[in-house]
Chains A and B, each alone.
Chain A
Amino acid sequence: MASVTATSHSPISADHLCVGYGKRPVIEGVTLDMQPGELLVLIGTNGSGKSTLLKTLAGLIKPVHGDLHLLGEHAGQLPKRVAYLPQHPVSSHTLPLCVRDMVAMGRYAHLGLMKQTSAHDREIVEESMTRVGIEAEADQPIRDLSGGQQQRTHLAQVLARQAEVLLLDEPTAGLDINGRKLVADLVSAERARGVTVVMATHELNDAEHATSVMLLAQRVVSVGPPEVALRDEFLRECFGFTQPH
């Protein structure tokens, strides 16, 4: 797979960013300057603000105040180059879509309203399904799949975007141990080709290979390399307990 073309702009830069809903702040003082191929892992309990921060990065929520740019543009301005995996995407039991069609939706940002799907698009869709191991289920209706297989389908949809920035909200939710390893391998492979990844998770293990970790509890508790951000005092402050050594 081709590497991401180098750009002069930082994939994600934020300066004193305050995220929240309307004028109500959830997290204040977020400062980021990510480089291509880096992985930032957001860790915190439910309601800590992980999803709010990711939605802001995806352009779904306007920042309360502060500066935020993705690839040199305001958030939400570059749908072809930024892909977002929402938390628990709805796979309605009435949705009559097969896995292949669902994954192909990842190409819509490139196709717009009327552009015909090309052989190249179809190739990317097939490759994305193979990468997450759901190629055998390509013609199955998504409503007939298990939760884990549905999550793999949504992951394949995000990969099909072939974006330069991936924003993943709990990508390992509903996945078994093999699925979790698959996500870790996919993130590594994407980083190797220069893709910048921000991932929200509950799992401390997901931070193992991160460039940096941000510990959240409706505020930034700590940020930095895993060995710094996940120190016992910060974990105790965030979760009320520490990791067994």
Chain B
Amino acid sequence: MNFLFGVFVDDQQLRLELIAGLLVAVTCAITGTFVVLRGLSFIGDALAHGVLPGIAAAMLLGVSGMLGAVVSAVIMMSGVGIVNRRLRLSGDTAIGLLFVGMLSLGVLITSRSVSLVGDLEEILFGDIAHVEWSTISVQLIALICIALIFTICRRPFLLLSVDEGLVNTSGFSAKLFHNVMMAMVATTVIVSFQTVGTLLVMGMLIAPAATGALFARRISSMIMIAALSGSISVYIGLLASYHYDLAAGASIVLTAVILFALSAIFAETRKSISRRHDDDHDHEHPHAHGHVHI
């Protein structure tokens, strides 16, 4: 039992890491649900990589990495908007251009500074081992803000997931609520990068939400399943990292992806059993449904 639970009681730093990880899991569950439903993975991924130069520059200047990430995210989103609107290039092209441009700039900044070369790995893959209460308080505030935004904007967000035109014809502004949603994605990336890294944060945004999508019949239950799946991934990932000396961020994200794969196998098996059962029922009671198909 000590293997599973005791380590979190005995090790204070590991407890902090668990709290930080759980906050990331719940934040990513809310945001990730809409990333999955609206197919925003590419822009989310680009945003996650696009914050790199801001974080690197902030570290060089000795200010908070989160502040640098905010500046980078704003530049990235504005840039995507400008390229998209002014140059009339497709959204994908605009995102791709800004994505590689910002990533290259980030690598250039880190490569010019000897002190930052080692930090690049921590930015990309996370540095949960150095998480502090100050980070956790920022994550908690971000989670409360994101939960509030979801509560207030759930109706236009739902409409956005079905059809953008439906948002406008229902009296909401599709543009405004799309931008609010993108701000949610940016905030999630910014407050999660220390825990799982900018490269792996997308894993926490997508994998638990995709697991939720397999079983849920309502958005709220999709978020709850995603939060549960993400939290389990954090717990197992941290345990694996502690006992087998593995990279924590990668362990968490890999666990989330494995949980998705197992859930998908379970869901498909359940579906085929239910289909077979229905076929058997139809065979035994061919007129049971009372519908006439022409």
A residues neighboring B (CB under 8 Å)? 55, 58-60, 76, 79-80, 82-84, 86, 89-92, 94-98, 101-102, 105, 108-109, 111-114, 139, 141, 176-178
Task: Indicate if the CB atoms of B169 and A96 lie closer than 8 Å.
Answer: no
A55 contact set on B, CB distance < 8 A:
165
Task: Indicate if the CB atoms of B218 and A94 lie closer than 8 Å.
Answer: no
Task: Indicate if the CB atoms of A109 and B171 lie closer than 8 Å.
Answer: yes
Q: Out of B156, B166, B217, which one reaches A96, CB within 8 Å? A: B217
B residues neighboring A (CB under 8 Å)? 36-37, 39, 152-153, 155-156, 158-159, 161-163, 165-166, 168-172, 210, 212-213, 216-219, 221-222, 294
Closest Cβ of chain B to A89, distance in Å, is 5
Count A-B contacts at CB 8 Å: 85
Task: Indicate if the CB atoms of A109 and B170 lie closer than 8 Å.
Answer: yes
Q: Report the nearest B residue to A167, measured CB to CB.
A: B169
A109 contact set on B, CB distance < 8 A:
169-171
Q: Report the nearest B residue to A90, measured CB to CB.
A: B163
Cα-based distance from A199 to B253 in the complex (angstroms): 49
Cα-based distance from A102 to B158 in the complex (angstroms): 9
A58 contact set on B, CB distance < 8 A:
165, 168-169
Q: Report the nearest B residue to A101, measured CB to CB.
A: B218
Task: Indicate if the CB atoms of A96 and B213 lie closer than 8 Å.
Answer: yes
Task: Indicate if the CB atoms of A59 and B169 lie closer than 8 Å.
Answer: yes
Task: Indicate if the CB atoms of B161 and A92 lie closer than 8 Å.
Answer: yes
Contacts known (A96-B213, A96-B221, A96-B222); A113 close to B170, Cβ less than 8 A: no
User: A90-B163, A96-B217, A96-B218 known; 13 other A-B pairs, CB under 8 Å?
Assistant: A60-B168, A76-B169, A82-B169, A89-B162, A89-B166, A92-B37, A96-B219, A96-B222, A97-B217, A112-B171, A113-B155, A139-B217, A178-B294
Contacts known (A82-B169, A96-B213); A89 close to B163, Cβ less than 8 A: yes
B171 contact set on A, CB distance < 8 A:
79-80, 108-109, 112
Closest Cβ of chain B to A113, distance in Å, is 6
B155 contact set on A, CB distance < 8 A:
105, 108, 111-113
Cα-based distance from A12 to B218 in the complex (angstroms): 37
B153 contact set on A, CB distance < 8 A:
113
Cα-based distance from A113 to B252 in the complex (angstroms): 36
Contacts known (A105-B158, A108-B159); A76 close to B168, Cβ less than 8 A: yes
Task: Indicate if the CB atoms of A141 and B217 lie closer than 8 Å.
Answer: yes
B166 contact set on A, CB distance < 8 A:
84, 86, 89, 105
A111 contact set on B, CB distance < 8 A:
155
Contacts known (A96-B217, A97-B218, A113-B152); A91 close to B162, Cβ less than 8 A: yes
Closest Cβ of chain B to A87, distance in Å, is 10
